[in-house]
Amino acid sequence: MTILSFLGILSSAIFSGTSLLYTALGEVIHERTGMVNLGLEGVLLVSAASGFAATVQTGNPYLGVLVAMIAGALVNLIFGFLVITRKANQLASGLALMFFSFGLSALIGNPYVGKSIHALPRFEFPGLSNLSTLYSSLFRFDLLIFLAIPAALLVWWLLYKTKWGLGARAVGENADITYASGRNPRLIQYQALFLGGMLAGLGAAHIAIAYAMNWTEYMTGGRGFIAVALVIFSRWHPLRAIVGALLFSASVAVQLVLQNSGINISPFLLECVPYIVTILVLIGWGGHRKQAAPASLGRVYQGSK
Amino acid sequence: MAPLAETTQKKKFIPPGIIQTLFHYLTMVVMSFLLFAFILLVIGKNPIQSYRGIFSSTLGSLYGLSELVVAMTPILLTGLAVAIPSRIMLINVGAEGQLYIGAAFATWGALNFSSLPAGLLIPLMMLLGILGGALWAFIPAYLKSIGLVNETITSLLMNSIAPKVIGFLVFGFWHSAMDTNKTARFVPAARLPTFFDTRVSLGVVFGLVLLIIFWLFMKTSRWGLEMKAIGGNPQASLRNGIPLKVYTIIVFCTGGAVAGLAGMVQASGYYGLMLTNFSIGWGFMGFLISWLVAGDPFGIILMSFIISLIFSGGNLLQITSGVPYSIINILLALTLFVVLAKPSIIRGKKS
């Protein structure tokens, strides 16, 4: 394999992995506070549709990113109302949210099918200007890519180094004790959903406004579910999610290179690899998993009277 | 004191009467329709006209009614596929994947034994579908039974694998000369018989019969009782000599088998061929339905009916009056939201 094709893989892994990373970071925050959000796929779709629509309307991609973030946060609050306030089952609520978002995103996005936009502008990676354009063109990234790893660091800092993060992780372990220590578990969960929705919105914005640069129905293609798998794969840790997101998307990029070099492996089989690896990782931990997963994941906080 | 405690205990466990249940669901449907009317108004459609369209196009004509039953068929089965494991507290989010694999196994049968008469080929395909779904469910079930990995996570992850396996098979081996993403039409002997001139296939009978069998099984058989015991308290039932591991595997795989049968029914009865991305979320919908009615067989029938009414009604409405198809998903989800949120009017008392 030549250096160029390796760099090509890396570049396209970064492009397709960015949205996965943002989404997975959002889900890390949800799951750390004890909520599994299967509706993430829907959150992505609604954010992508509204972000794209806003970009077409205003002509400003950054405004589109902002709208996508807000849309993601708002859609997540619906989920919050169901599972936090109404104490509904999380898996079922997530799936219902997914079906809802299939409809809502098409309603928002379909008038804009085929419209062209000013995509997020791309900048050269600093320090590569002396390379030939063949190489440096592979590393022209938009702002969201540059911000992806800082975002992961920020989430890590938020969860592990701040008072709020301590409270959030405590809710995921045992909401009753958190309540006893003077915090409001419901409020923390709502905040986590709002924040996670904004992060997923960033991921969706990257798909629609920077990467694909269009809107089609179901365009996120299961990325919400991949993000859920990624969170498990990275053991609920925001920094490990960076590696996970890159590995997931690299396996897709590798397939492109293999095709180019004449080796014929079905792309469908390669797309299975990340999921199989995740299952194997889960098996590998075996009993240790209990220490990694938030103890109250999926449990409904019944409140204290 | 003692008799009082007994009566309250009893009251709790008396299942609500059919009329009461119907009333509950109807209230929920009315609420979601009101919410949806609001959305219709926002996008500038007349809600009353739209609703008249939905009802008259489905319940008002034989064709509409038959389309409703067509939409009901797969979710009756996938709902059951989730309900069976839920009785012993196993969460099967994997019906979508099991459905795919069941359909793939059945398709293999249809393509390779196409010279068999229908009387042999159909049962063979059914068996293959059942086998495929059960095998796909076996992996999470086994991992759960040895206490290694939670079945929720594995069955969910395997949902993402199954469609790609089908893509691989159809794209690589099975596709017809004309298309790359679907097989050739099955021979007539591999098609499930349909009723009269409609698209309603024998599959709906499978669904209804299996749901009734499930109900009888849970009510009358010894194994049903043991399953109830496991669902109530797994540790206690283990100490009473109920083989927990065996139950985990068999019950979960039975769920998978039913989902696999649903896949066979859709491939053979609905499409008459196999194609990539062939499920439109039937497995996920089954999960929702089963969860909303707490795995109750008659609840599954009722909820499938309501959801299919919205779905097929909306489908026909879109053709006739230009309401965008996408908003059918919204109406569907609003109904689900209302049921999930359990508004206090429905529960009868405030919590």
A124 falls within a domain? no
Name the CA dihedral angle for B321, B323, B326, B332, rounded to a multiple of 10 degrees. Answer: -90
Q: Which residues of A touch B293 (CB under 8 A)?
A: none
Between the ranges A95-99, A121-125, A229-233, B27-31, where is the mean pLDDT highest? A95-99
Residue A196: partners with Cβ closer than 8 Å, 6 or more residues away: A25, A26, A27, A29, A30, A37, A76
The token pair at B43 is 């996008």
A304 falls within a domain? no
The pLDDT mean for chain B works out to 85
Instruction: Please write the tens of the pLDDT for every residue from A229-258.
Output: 888 888 889 999 998 888 888 777 777 677
Instruction: Please write the tens of the pLDDT for every residue from A20-37.
Output: 999 999 999 999 999 999
The token pair at B96 is 């979508």
Higher pLDDT, B78 or B37: B78
Mean pLDDT over B238-249 rounds to 89
Mean pLDDT over B86-106 rounds to 94
Q: Does residue B3 register a pLDDT over 50?
A: no
Q: Does residue A158 register a pLDDT over 60?
A: yes
Listed in sequence order, the DSSP H helices in chain B are 2-13, 18-42, 47-58, 62-86, 95-112, 118-145, 151-169, 203-220, 222-232, 234-239, 244-265, 282-292, 297-321, 326-341, 344-347
| pLDDT for the residue B15 | 52
B78, B89, B156, B277, best to mutate vs chain A, most A CBs in 10 Å: B156
Rounded CA separation B120/B297 (Å): 30
Rounded CA separation B179/B144 (Å): 40
The token pair at A8 is 């090509």
| pLDDT for the residue B264 | 96
Q: Does residue B297 register a pLDDT over 50?
A: yes
Residue B73: partners with Cβ closer than 8 Å, 6 or more residues away: B200, B201, B203, B204, B207, B265, B266, B269, B270
**A88 and B342: CB-CB below 8 Å?**
yes
Q: Is B182 helix (H, G, I), strand (E, B) or coil?
A: strand
Instruction: Give me the amino acid identity at B298.
Output: F
Mean pLDDT over B131-147 rounds to 94
| pLDDT for the residue B266 | 95
Residue of B nearest to A230 (CA): B157
Q: Which residues of A touch B91 (CB under 8 A)?
A: 91
Rounded CA separation B137/B100 (Å): 12
> Binning pLDDT at 50, 70 and 90, where does residue B347 land?
very low
| pLDDT for the residue B17 | 64
Q: Which of A301, B295, B338, A82 is nearest to B346 (CA)?
A: B338
Higher pLDDT, B9 or A48: A48
**A283 and B149: CB-CB below 8 Å?**
yes
**A102 and B329: CB-CB below 8 Å?**
yes
Among A196-205, B82-91, B268-277, B337-346, where is mean pLDDT lowest? B337-346
Q: Which of B275, B276, B279, B274 is nearest to B112 (CA)?
A: B274
Among A152-161, A213-222, B18-27, B79-88, where is mean pLDDT lowest? B18-27
> Binning pLDDT at 50, 70 and 90, where does residue A292 land?
low
Q: Does residue A146 register a pLDDT over 70?
A: yes
Mean pLDDT over B133-160 rounds to 91
A134 falls within a domain? no
Using the Cβ of B155 and the Cβ atoms of chain A, whether some distance falls under 8 Å is answered with: no
Among B23-27, B93-97, B298-302, B338-342, where is mean pLDDT lowest? B23-27
| pLDDT for the residue B166 | 93
Q: Does residue B86 register a pLDDT over 70?
A: yes
> Binning pLDDT at 50, 70 and 90, where does residue A294 land?
confident
> Binning pLDDT at 50, 70 and 90, where does residue A219 land?
confident
Using the Cβ of B156 and the Cβ atoms of chain A, whether some distance falls under 8 Å is answered with: yes
Q: Which of B268, B270, B285, B310 is nearest to B59 (CA)?
A: B310
Q: Does residue B23 register a pLDDT over 80?
A: no
CB-side neighbour CA atoms (13 Å) of B324: 19
Closest partner residue to A86 among B150, B158, B341, by Cβ? B341
Q: Which residues of B touch A276 (CB under 8 A)?
A: 161
Mean pLDDT over A183-204 rounds to 95
| pLDDT for the residue A278 | 80
Closest partner residue to A282 among B153, B159, B333, by Cβ? B153
Q: Which of A217, A228, A22 is nearest to B93 (CA)?
A: A228
CA dist A135 → A203, A284, B305 (Å): 26, 39, 58
Q: Which residues of A touch B94 (CB under 8 A)?
A: none
Q: Does residue B180 register a pLDDT over 50?
A: yes
CA dist A42 → A79, A114, A130, B310, B351 (Å): 11, 21, 43, 20, 30
Among A224-228, B74-78, B178-182, B343-347, where is mean pLDDT lowest? B343-347
Cβ neighbours of A117 (radius 10 Å) = 23
> Binning pLDDT at 50, 70 and 90, where does residue B340 land?
confident
> Binning pLDDT at 50, 70 and 90, where does residue A153 land?
very high
Q: Does residue A187 register a pLDDT over 60?
A: yes
Q: Does residue B81 register a pLDDT over 90?
A: yes
Rounded CA separation B328/B300 (Å): 20
Among A148-162, B6-20, B244-258, where is mean pLDDT lowest? B6-20
Mean pLDDT over A188-209 rounds to 95
Q: Does residue B111 register a pLDDT over 80?
A: yes
What's B199's DSSP letter? S
B 93-152: CB under 8 A from A = 93, 143, 147-150, 152
| pLDDT for the residue A291 | 55
Mean pLDDT over B63-91 rounds to 93
CATH of the domain at A158: 1.10.3470.10
Rounded CA separation B258/B98 (Å): 9
Cβ neighbours of A74 (radius 10 Å) = 17
Q: Which domains does chain B have, with CATH numbers?
A: 25-38+50-347 (1.10.3470)
Q: B203-220 and B244-265 helices cross at what angle (nearest 10)?
A: 160
| pLDDT for the residue A230 | 87
Rounded percentage of chain A residues whose pLDDT exceeds 90: 45
| pLDDT for the residue B351 | 35
Instruction: Please write the tens of the pLDDT for every residue from B303-338.
Output: 899 889 888 887 777 776 666 777 778 888 888 888
Mean pLDDT over A54-81 rounds to 95
A261 falls within a domain? yes
| pLDDT for the residue B335 | 81
Using the Cβ of B153 and the Cβ atoms of chain A, whether some distance falls under 8 Å is answered with: yes
**A282 and B337: CB-CB below 8 Å?**
no
The count of domains in chain A is 1
Rounded CA separation A204/A25 (Å): 13
First to last CA, chain B: 25
Rounded percentage of chain B residues whose pLDDT exceeds 70: 91
Rounded CA separation A112/A68 (Å): 15
A133 falls within a domain? no
Among A118-122, A161-165, B260-264, B268-272, where is mean pLDDT lowest? A118-122
Q: Does residue B28 register a pLDDT over 80?
A: no
Bridge pairing between strands A140-142 and A122-124: antiparallel
Q: Which residues of B touch A286 (CB under 8 A)?
A: 148
> Binning pLDDT at 50, 70 and 90, where does residue B7 land?
very low
A97, A275, A280, best to mutate vs chain B, most B CBs in 10 Å: A275
Concatenate the DSSP letters of all residues of B236-269 into one string.
HHHHTT--HHHHHHHHHHHHHHHHHHHHHHIIII
pTM of the model: 0.85
**A279 and B93: CB-CB below 8 Å?**
no
Mean pLDDT over B171-182 rounds to 86
Residue B289: partners with Cβ closer than 8 Å, 6 or more residues away: B75, B78, B79, B82, B300, B303, B304, B307
**B333 and A96: CB-CB below 8 Å?**
yes
> Do residues A202 and A17 lie in contact, with contact meaning Cβ atoms separated by under 8 Å?
no
Concatenate the DSSP letters of all residues of A80-122 into one string.
HIIIIIS---HHHHHHHHHHHHHHHHHHHHGGGTT----PPPE
Rounded CA separation B317/B306 (Å): 16
Among A261-265, B173-177, B254-258, where is mean pLDDT lowest? A261-265
* Phi, psi dihedral angles at B233 (to 5 degrees): -155, 95
Q: Which residues of A touch B160 (CB under 8 A)?
A: 222, 225-226, 229, 275
Mean pLDDT over A153-182 rounds to 92
Range of the domain at A50: 3-112+146-292
The pLDDT mean for chain A works out to 87
| pLDDT for the residue B121 | 94
A128 falls within a domain? no
Higher pLDDT, A298 or A200: A200
Higher pLDDT, A70 or A107: A70
A244 falls within a domain? yes
A298 falls within a domain? no
| pLDDT for the residue B5 | 42
Using the Cβ of B346 and the Cβ atoms of chain A, whether some distance falls under 8 Å is answered with: no
Cβ neighbours of A90 (radius 10 Å) = 23
The token pair at A179 is 């309540």
Higher pLDDT, A18 or B179: A18
Instruction: Give me the amino acid identity at A250.
Output: A
Instruction: Please write the tens of the pLDDT for every residue from A84-97.
Output: 998 888 988 999 99
Rounded CA separation A138/A3 (Å): 12
Please report where in the chains the tokens 């169901």 appear, as a residue: A82
